[in-house]
């Protein structure tokens, strides 16, 4: 009777967690297979159901936890990332949520121990256990194949349902189909295309290039929300070119935006590997912005608002041509790592990053390329990170526009970023007035908090905007007319590096020249484009060894 009640409660919990009939059916058969696997070890049906229920609960809660953090459910391939420098970052950023999650985990482990040590067993014959396991696995495999759940769950990783079935499907897929050491690119033709001729430089003196990736920043006007003058000039500088930016991700996975910008490729082209390109892609991409600028004589530098052990950053950036890589645990005083990690303040980090650039300018007359990765506006947005009392007026302005405390916090952080950038730009202009400079800043993705905006505004049409951020390009100490000032074209993030080279007046090699020739077909949606020439271009890159799909 107890086993039946436990099973009934578990099925009810599954109905809540899965929320879709087609996923529920596969989830229940996978749960049955889990019970029989546990039964093979513990030799008691009632105990097997209880332990399998605890395991399923752990998967569902963990997936929900990840969904709240990043906007994506748990997949089997996420597990290695826990040991790639992300655990410290998650704990620092989400201490309250992590503490609650760890408490829940301890409770599950304690419950499992109590069950294993106190429940009286009713042994099931070994041949029956193997028979039940074979039957359950066969039914689970049949539903996996018949329902096409693998394809469905890959397409719904950013949707709030099917937490258990999505994880199991990803586990089955990883075990069954992954060719070890091989990357797959989805939008590629069987034959390549001739590359375009290189394009000569327009400028006689190469400018320094500064690119700033603003963590989790988007333009509130995307959702019809007003902004004040300071933020408007940050997002749409009066003396620069600006526009909408389409990205591959929502809620998390900033490295996918970094990858797309630097390589000129969409991370989405690599399917289930897209989230893991910094682990699996090191040494596989031989052409990109850092390597190209390095060949033009630039000193290439990364300044990242994370520690050196985060997610294989050091190795990956080295592999694509970043000669110098500076992380927060490298920065000298007066930068205070412990204080910084409490807020990830843009004011603290950008001052340090500009200091790195200034030091390199003084030590080296070569043109400089600095890529700065910030982290200030990362969630959670229920925690105030600006200084007490700071930006209270801007916070009130945002709350009057949309009465939500998390949006008000987002806007206050955005205000600090805009004020910091205005001060940094003035510092750059005065510190080296003789050095021309091109500056790009952009948002890598929207934060999970945006779902609250969509819910409060109650407009279903807003959902399609969640992959849209912004870009803005400005110049310092460059000739008037170097930029065509004003609203620019909407871009896909894979095109930003090409646009930077064009706007700086730098030469385009045959790869960048060919990519530029595809702009009319792919400019606003690189991965979504069905262009045959784009697919042929990818084949050319693979055939030339510039993308290595086999293990390097």
**The pLDDT of residue 1 is above 50:** no
CATH of 208-494, picked from 3.40.50.11810, 3.40.228.10, 2.40.50.100, 3.40.720.10, is 3.40.720.10
- 279: which 2 tokens? 């682990």
Encode pLDDT of 333-352 as tens digits. 899 999 998 889 999 999 99
Residue 392 reports pLDDT greater than 70 = yes
Q: Whose CA is closest to 267, among 244, 243, 284, 292?
A: 284
Query: What is the Cβ-side half-sphere exposure of residue 533, based on CA atoms within 13 angstroms?
Result: 12
Quickly state the pLDDT bin for 30 (edges 50, 70, 90). confident
Whether this model's pTM surpasses 0.85: no
pLDDT of 82: 58
Q: For residue 212, how many C-alpha atoms fall within 13 Å in the half-sphere facing its CB? A: 26
Neighbour-count burial of 502, counting CB atoms closer than 10 A to its CB (0-12 exposed, 13-18 middle, 19+ buried) = middle
Whether the Cβ atoms of residue 275 and residue 307 lie closer than 8 Å to each other: no
What pLDDT does residue 150 have?
65
In this prediction, residue 177 carries a pLDDT of: 47
For the chain, the average pLDDT equals 85
Quick: pLDDT tens for 47-95: 778 788 878 888 887 777 777 666 677 777 666 665 544 555 555 555 5
Beta-strand pair 208-214/368-373:
parallel
Phi, psi angle pair for 327, to nearest 5°: -120, 170
Which residues of the chain form CATH 3.40.720.10? 208-494
């Amino acid at each position: 009777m107890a086993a039946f009640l436990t099973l009934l409660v578990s099925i009810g919990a599954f109905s809540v967690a899965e929320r879709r009939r087609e996923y529920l059916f596969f989830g229940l058969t996978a749960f049955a297979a889990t019970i029989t696997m546990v039964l093979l070890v513990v030799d008691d049906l009632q105990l097997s159901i209880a332990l399998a229920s605890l395991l399923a609960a752990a998967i569902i809660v963990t997936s929900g936890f990840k969904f709240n953090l990043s906007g994506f459910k748990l997949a089997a391939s996420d597990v290695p990332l826990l040991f790639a420098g992300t655990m410290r970052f998650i704990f620092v950023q989400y201490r309250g949520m992590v503490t609650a999650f760890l408490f829940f985990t301890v409770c599950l482990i304690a419950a499992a121990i109590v069950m294993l040590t106190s429940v009286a067993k009713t042994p099931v014959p070994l041949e029956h256990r193997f028979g039940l396991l074979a039957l359950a696995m066969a039914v689970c495999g049949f539903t996996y194949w018949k329902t096409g759940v693998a394809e469905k769950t890959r397409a719904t990783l950013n949707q709030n349902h099917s937490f258990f079935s999505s994880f199991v499907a990803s586990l089955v897929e990883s075990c069954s189909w992954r060719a070890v050491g091989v990357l797959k690119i989805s939008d590629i033709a069987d034959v390549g295309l001739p590359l375009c001729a290189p394009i000569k430089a327009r400028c006689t003196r190469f400018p320094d290039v500064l690119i700033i990736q603003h963590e989790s920043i988007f333009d509130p006007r995307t959702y019809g929300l007003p902004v004040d003058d300071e933020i408007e000039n940050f997002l749409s500088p009066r003396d620069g070119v600006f526009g909408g930016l389409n990205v591959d991700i929502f809620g998390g996975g900033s490295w996918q935006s970094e990858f797309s910008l630097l390589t000129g490729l969409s991370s989405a082209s690599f399917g289930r590997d897209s989230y893991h390109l910094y682990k699996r892609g090191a040494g596989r991409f031989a052409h990109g912005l850092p390597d190209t600028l390095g060949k033009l004589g630039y000193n290439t530098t990364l300044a990242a608002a994370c520690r050196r052990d985060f997610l294989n950053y050091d190795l990956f950036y080295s592999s694509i041509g970043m000669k110098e890589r500076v992380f927060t645990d490298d920065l000298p005083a007066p930068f205070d790592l412990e204080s910084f990690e409490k807020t990830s303040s843009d004011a603290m980090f950008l001052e340090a990053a500009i200091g790195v650039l200034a030091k390199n300018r003084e030590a080296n007359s070569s043109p400089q390329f600095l890529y700065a990765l910030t982290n200030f506006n990362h969630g959670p947005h229920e925690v105030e990170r600006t200084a007490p009392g700071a930006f209270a007026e801007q916070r009130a302005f945002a709350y009057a526009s949309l009465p939500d405390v998390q949006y008000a916090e987002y806007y206050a952080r955005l205000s600090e970023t805009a004020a910091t950038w205005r001060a940094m730009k003035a510092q750059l202009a005065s510190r080296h007035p003789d050095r021309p400079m091109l500056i790009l800043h952009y948002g890598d993705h929207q934060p999970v908090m945006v779902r609250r905006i969509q819910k409060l505004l109650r407009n279903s049409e807003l959902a399609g905007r969640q992959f849209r951020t912004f870009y803005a390009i400005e110049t310092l100490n460059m000739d008037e007319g170097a930029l065509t000032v004003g609203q620019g074209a909407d871009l896909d993030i894979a095109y930003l590096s090409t646009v930077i080279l064009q706007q700086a007046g730098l030469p385009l090699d045959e790869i960048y020249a060919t990519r530029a020739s595809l702009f009319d077909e792919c400019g606003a949606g690189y991965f979504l484009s069905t262009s045959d020439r784009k697919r042929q271009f990818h084949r050319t890159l693979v055939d030339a060894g510039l993308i290595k799909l086999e293990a390097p």
